[in-house]
Amino acid sequence: MIKYIYKMISISIRILVVLVGLISSAVVIVAVVTEALLLSIVVVVVVVVVVVVVVVVVTRCITKHHVTSSKA
């Protein structure tokens, strides 16, 4: 069960890393094309906040699921 949880965490982290890489590269391309530095900074900040929130939610859900399954 614990191995399964670690597997899920590692998979979700890999997906998040890939998503962050794609989004940041897209932001860089947009910044280069439009030369809107302020806009790109705002987008990067928003992306970082969203990623942090997603990681926290995922880890909380996994820990809650683990706790409830171990109690049962």
* Confidence (pLDDT) at 71: 60
Q: Which pLDDT does position 39 carry in this prediction? A: 72
- Host domain of residue 54: 2-71
Question: What is the number of domains present in the chain?
Answer: 1
Helix (H) or strand (E) holding 64: helix 37-71
The pTM for the full model equals 0.41
HSE-up (13 A, CA, CB side) for residue 58:
17
CA–CA distance, 43 with 4 (Å, rounded to integer): 34
Q: Mean pLDDT per 10-residue run, the chain (72 residues)?
A: 82 87 82 72 86 87 70 57
The whole-angstrom separation of Cα 70 and Cα 8 is 17
pLDDT (0 to 100) of residue 26: 84
